[in-house]
Amino acid sequence: MSAISNLESMSGLVAFVASVETGGFAAAGRRLGVSASAVGKAVARLEARLGVRLLHRTTRSIAVTGEGNLLFERATRIIEDVQEAENAIAETRTFPRGLLKVSIPAAMGRRIIVPALDQFISAYPKVILDVSLDDRMVDIVEGGFDLVLRTGDLQDSRLIARKLAPHRFVTCGSPAYLERRGAPQTPDDVPAHTCLRLRFPTTGRLEYWAFKGWKAPGRPPNGPVFNDIEAVALAAIAGLGLAQLPHYLAARAIADGRLRTVLADYAVSRGDIWLIRPPASSESPRVRVFATFLTKLIESI
């Protein structure tokens, strides 16, 4: 370890710079909140480690040697750099800034979150977003994520999680399909229809459809299978069959008439939408403001 790479040397540098700037050990001690004797001893230990005299002392004053002038110039820059670093860290505890890494379900991110990010970025330009659109159950700690949005039932009790809203689903079809095949009146009518199904890309399992009060198996019996929920939505809009879609994914097509809802009285949620952060983590300003942003978005859908 070099002569000025330990904590004692750093305290000696601080004492030395303060002594030069204030003109004596007593004034330096008042600035640093220690005694003049403590300042003098810190400077003496620094001189002993460096093997040179930095200051000439008299009973009334100090004078900087040639070696002292050289060290003073560099030590002043070092101390200023440390102070700037401390101030930058302090600002991150007060003002939202710095890197924020988040993971969001892909379809929700494309339809809800990403289109609204300009509002957040305009309000908090010093926050640098790193957004992953991913349907996998990511390892929050290993992946270094600050926040994660997830849907369904939460499995890991170690996580700090807040329930934002029910994960609502709607059963729907295009007007052309419903005119051609008729609209189901109860869940018992569903097996007679072409049902567009999702195969979860993370598990390979087929989704189960859910209806309030329906006791029959939830897996529709026939129809095309897709491994992407947005592809299921597009297939429904194209008139290929019925689909059971997240409300946020179908809402725009329902509003403009490309899809029509059926079996609304039997609609149920599939778990909830969760906002998750790592266990035992502190909530920095950037995490807090983005969590508020996400919460308002999800509550509005």
276 falls within a domain = no
pTM of the model: 0.67
User: Does residue 277 sit within a domain?
Assistant: no
Read off the pLDDT band of 4 (50, 70, 90). very low
Does residue 258 lie in a domain region?
yes
Q: Which domain holds residue 67?
A: 2-94
Residues 154-199: tens digit of each pLDDT: 776 667 888 999 999 999 999 999 999 999 999 999 989 999 999 9
Q: What share of the chain is helix, strand, coil (3-state, %, to 5)?
A: 45, 20, 35
Cβ contacts of 34 within 8 Å, gap of 6 or more: none
pLDDT tens across 91-148, in order?
556 678 899 999 999 999 999 999 999 999 999 999 999 999 988 878 888 888 999 9
Tell me, yes or no, whether 160 and 171 share the same domain.
no
Verify that 82 and 155 share a domain, yes or no.
no
> Distance between CA 279 and CA 140 in Å, rounded?
9
Q: Hey, is 284 helix, strand or coil?
A: coil
CATH number, residue 132: 3.40.190.10
The predicted model gives 293-297 an average pLDDT of 92
Q: State how many domains the chain has.
A: 3
Same domain, 196 and 254: yes
